[in-house]
């Protein structure tokens, strides 16, 4: 429906955009700009899955090949969108989204292999765009039309850019918003994750026509950063309606009596399929002894590290729970991002699993704290028990191994409940107050005797001797932070205290005399930047009070992590 002038304007804007090199900080979205329409988790996942059904991923020579690719793809269907990204080694890729799923079938039917005798002839939505034959190349060179399709690009800021943006912000709260907006998983990141899941789904579809490979964890719960890993669960069959009337039944192999052994055997086979047959999948590792057996692999074409499991539905419902809590108040995600980044910057978290706290546990700490604000201005978040009591008939979910994951799914109804049940006015504290409150709250929290429970939003006496106990909200009796050692808990406690003290001494506002953004950038570190850089500043003998936690030796009572050696060797985050 677009006319020629508007198309020309778009092309011009596109060219201007390409010429414009200095990246801009994302706008710091405020409360009143936050989206009012709430998409349910299931609808969000369904719509992302449909995007993946309609998409292919094409490796191209360079960005210049994009218009040629657009023209080529348009012969097979209507192209809805094109998204370009590159990976180290000057590898360029374009994710092409068609209007219809059938367009993908058409283009895949018309695709081939470079040399069928030398490759495993697997069909997948991962392709590459080879150079045209010589005769066609000449025609293309002489009449190459500009690509009128708006090309989305993957813009993730460098550490230096992010620092400059935060230094140039107007307030501490804005710094937190900028951090969130600049580092969270973007649209292309989500698309690539769902397409990566689709590859596995397509690979086993012949055996299991109803198969679903669902992303969970930070890729879908709204707490994911740009390069987060991809947690996947393969569900071989979907819950179906009553089939007792069917006269024809499938012949099928009998399941082993030991369900765990069965899953391990299937995972082993799946690991072989991923390793031997699927394009782009490398570094396949089978971690089958963990409580939840997983296959780790790297998808080289999307640049994503994947953890594939089976029968882990409670983790999917956990992602849904986190998604709903993130959606229910605009301050939740920025705060979680600030805390997770802080932990990463000062070395509390580590990308490899081990005895340290995970991002997931940190997220639960923030959510618990936000349930606790009742002593101040009222809670920001409801307790899980409240969410369970508000569940409607359509919210009932029980996993195949009996874990009850029933809670309210309608975010708008949950928000209405929070607003109407507030004793006075709903909590309106800004991000600065909430983040400072977070560090104060955990500085005085007694981790040695108390556990965190999101179910009733209160701390409870620890049920065992784990150094850090965060009760799994859905699987009662499990400790999410069972992997965290005594030393790491001690470090965590000290870092909370250090940061709370430090927040009393660092500047929380930019230098008022600096008028322009560049003047603000040049000004001494302040706010969030100071928080992240505290250890380095302390090391240089600057004027900030900071006790490096590493130097504080914790009493060694007993190395509890050895009790969970199986988990440490496997994937601690999935095995607690």
Distance CA 526, CA 511 (A): 9
| CB nearer ligand CTP, residue 74 or residue 350 | 350
For residues 59 and 92, the answer to whether their CB atoms sit within 8 Å is yes
Segment 524 to 553, residues that bind ligand CTP, using CB under 6 A: none
Query: Among residues 195, 318, 380, 454, which is the contact residue for ligand CTP, using CB under 6 A?
Result: 318
Q: Which two tokens stand for residue 423?
A: 């004793």
Residue 225's DSSP bridge partners are 184
Calculate ∠ Cα 223-224-226, nearest 5°.
Answer: 145
574 binds, among ligand CTP, Mg ion, none (CB under 5 to 8 A by kind): ligand CTP
| Chain-centre distance for alpha carbon 23 | 23
225 to 254: interface string for ligand CTP, x by CB under 6 A: ---xx-x-----------------------
- Cα 32 to Cα 48: distance, rounded to the nearest angstrom: 27
Output the smallest distance, CB 521 to ligand CTP, in A. 29
Q: Are 176 and 338 in contact (CB under 8 A)?
A: yes
- Phi, psi (5° rounding) for residue 439? -70, -35
Cβ-based nearer residue to Mg ion, 295 or 431: 295
CA angle 4–7–10, rounded 5-degree value: 155
Q: Which two tokens stand for residue 28?
A: 């710091």
Q: Sign of dihedral through CA atoms 262, 268, 271, 272? A: negative
Query: String of b and e for 389-398 (b: at least 16 CB within 10 Å)?
Result: ebeeeeeebe
Residue 515 backbone phi and psi in degrees, to 5: -85, -50
Site for ligand CTP in 337-366 (CB under 6 A): 358-360
318: partner contacted, choices ligand CTP, Mg ion, none (Cβ within 5-8 A by kind): ligand CTP
- Residue 320 as a binder of ligand CTP (CB under 6 A): the answer is no
Residue with smaller CB distance to ligand CTP, 189 or 280: 189
- Residue 191 interacting entry, from Mg ion, ligand CTP, none, C-beta within 5 to 8 Å by type: none
| Contact region with ligand CTP (CB under 6 A), list: 105-113, 217-225, 410-418, 433-441 | 217-225
- For residue 567, which of 289, 363, 241 has the smallest C-alpha distance? 289
- Part of the chain binding ligand CTP (CB under 6 A), chosen from 223-231, 408-416, 452-460, 561-569: 223-231
What is the closest distance, in whole angstroms, from the C-beta atom of residue 576 to ligand CTP in the complex?
A: 4
Q: How far is the CB of 356 from ligand CTP (least distance, A)?
A: 12
User: Alpha-carbon torsion 417, 423, 427, 428, what sign?
Assistant: positive
Please give the structure tokens belonging to residue 167. Answer: 């230094």
Given a contact cutoff of 8 angstroms between Cβ atoms, the answer to whether 386 and 455 are in contact is no
Give 306's Cβ-side CA count (13 Å radius): 34
Give me the least distance between CB of 231 and Mg ion, in Å please. Answer: 5
**Integer Rg of the chain from CA:** 26
**What is the closest distance, in whole angstroms, from the C-beta atom of residue 274 to Mg ion in the complex?**
18
Min dist CB 414 to ligand CTP, Å, is 19
In order of 50, 106, 125, the CA distances from 98 in angstroms are 11, 11, 12
Contact between 327 and Mg ion by CB under 5 A: the answer reads: no
Q: Count the neighbouring beta carbons within 10 Å of the beta carbon of residue 424.
A: 7
Q: Minimum distance between the CB of residue 255 and ligand CTP, rounded to whole angstroms?
A: 25
Binding to Mg ion in span 203-222, by CB under 5 A = 217-218
Closest contact distance (angstroms) between CB of 428 and ligand CTP is: 28
Write down the least CB distance from residue 217 to Mg ion, Å: 4
Q: Are 60 and 71 in contact (CB under 8 A)?
A: no
Q: Is 480 in the site for ligand CTP (CB under 6 A)?
A: yes
CB nearest ligand CTP: which residue?
Answer: 217
> What is d(CA 185, CA 192) in angstroms, rounded to the nearest whole number?
11
When binding is defined by CB under 6 A, the residue of 56, 315, 343, 366 that contacts ligand CTP is 315
Q: Are 279 and 126 in contact (CB under 8 A)?
A: yes
Residue 183 interacting with ligand CTP (CB under 6 A):
no
Contact between 573 and ligand CTP per CB under 6 A:
yes
Comparing CB distances to ligand CTP, the nearer of 455 and 576 is: 576
CA angle 406, 471, 438 (to 5 degrees): 105
Q: Which is nearer to ligand CTP, 53 or 297 (CB)?
A: 297
Q: Please compute, for residue 529, the number of CA atoms within 13 A of its CA located in the half-sphere on the CB side.
A: 25
Residue 215: CB minimum distance to Mg ion, A:
9
Residue 571 interacting with Mg ion (CB under 5 A): no
Residue 573's binding partner, choosing from Mg ion, ligand CTP, none, with beta-carbon cut-off 5 to 8 A by kind?
Answer: ligand CTP
String of contacts with Mg ion for each residue 223-242, x by CB under 5 A:
------x-x-----------
Point out which span in 87-95, 214-222, 279-287, 403-411 binds ligand CTP (CB under 6 A): 214-222
Give the span between the Cα atoms of 486 and 100, in whole angstroms. 54
Task: Confirm or reject binding of residue 576 to ligand CTP (CB under 6 A).
Answer: yes
Question: Interface residues with ligand CTP (CB under 6 A)?
Answer: 216-218, 221, 224, 228-229, 231, 315, 318-319, 358-360, 472, 480, 573-574, 576
């Amino acid at each position: 429906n677009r006319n020629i002038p508007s198309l020309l304007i778009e092309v011009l804007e596109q060219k201007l955009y390409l010429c414009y090199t200095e990246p801009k900080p994302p706008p710091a979205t405020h409360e009143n700009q936050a989206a009012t329409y709430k998409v349910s988790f299931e609808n969000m996942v369904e719509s992302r899955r449909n995007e993946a059904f309609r998409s292919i991923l094409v490796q191209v020579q360079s960005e210049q090949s994009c218009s040629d690719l657009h023209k080529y793809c348009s012969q097979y269907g209507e192209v809805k969108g094109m998204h370009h990204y590159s990976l180290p080694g000057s590898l360029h890729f374009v994710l092409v989204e068609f209007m219809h799923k059938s367009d993908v079938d058409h283009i895949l039917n018309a695709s081939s292999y470079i040399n069928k005798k030398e490759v495993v002839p697997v069909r997948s939505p991962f392709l590459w765009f080879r150079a045209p034959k010589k005769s066609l190349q000449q025609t293309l060179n002489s009449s190459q039309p500009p690509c009128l399709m708006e090309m989305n690009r993957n813009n993730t800021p460098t550490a230096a850019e992010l620092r400059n943006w935060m230094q140039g912000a107007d307030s501490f709260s804005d710094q937190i918003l900028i951090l969130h907006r600049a580092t969270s998983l973007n649209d292309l990141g989500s698309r690539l994750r769902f397409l990566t899941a689709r590859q596995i789904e397509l690979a086993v579809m012949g055996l299991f026509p109803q198969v679903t490979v669902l992303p969970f964890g930070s890729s879908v719960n709204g707490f994911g950063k740009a390069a987060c890993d991809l947690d996947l669960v393969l569900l071989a069959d979907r819950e179906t309606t009553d089939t007792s009337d069917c006269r024809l039944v499938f012949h099928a192999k009998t399941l082993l009596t030991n369900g765990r052994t069965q899953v391990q055997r299937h995972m082993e086979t799946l690991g072989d399929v991923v390793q031997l047959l699927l394009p782009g999948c490398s570094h396949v590792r089978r971690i089958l002894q963990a409580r939840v057996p997983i296959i780790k692999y790297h998808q080289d074409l999307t640049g994503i590290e994947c953890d594939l499991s089976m029968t882990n539905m409670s983790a999917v419902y956990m992602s849904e729970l986190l998604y709903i809590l993130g959606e229910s108040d605009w301050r939740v995600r920025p705060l979680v991002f600030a805390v997770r980044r802080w932990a990463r910057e000062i070395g509390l978290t580590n990308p490899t699993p081990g005895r340290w706290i995970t991002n997931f546990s940190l997220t639960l700490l923030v959510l618990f704290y936000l349930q606790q604000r009742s002593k101040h201005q009222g809670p920001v978040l409801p307790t899980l028990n409240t969410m369970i009591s508000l569940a409607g008939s359509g919210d009932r979910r029980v996993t195949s191994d009996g874990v009850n994951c029933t809670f309210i799914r309608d975010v708008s109804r949950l928000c209405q409940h929070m607003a109407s049940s507030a004793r006075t006015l709903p909590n309106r504290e800004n991000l600065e107050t909430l983040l400072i409150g977070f560090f104060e709250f955990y500085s005085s929290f007694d981790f040695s005797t108390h556990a965190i429970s999101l179910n009733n939003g209160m701390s409870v006496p620890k049920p065992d001797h784990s150094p850090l106990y965060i009760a799994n909200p859905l699987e009662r009796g499990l400790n999410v932070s069972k992997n965290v050692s005594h030393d790491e808990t001690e470090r965590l406690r000290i870092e909370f205290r250090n940061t709370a003290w430090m927040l009393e001494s660092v500047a929380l506002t930019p230098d008022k005399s600096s008028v322009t953004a560049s003047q603000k950038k040049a000004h001494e570190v302040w706010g969030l930047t100071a928080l992240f850089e505290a250890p380095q500043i302390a090391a240089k003998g600057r004027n900030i009070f900071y006790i490096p936690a590493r130097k504080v030796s914790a009493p060694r009572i007993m190395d509890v992590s050895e009790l969970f050696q199986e988990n440490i060797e496997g994937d601690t985050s999935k095995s607690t």
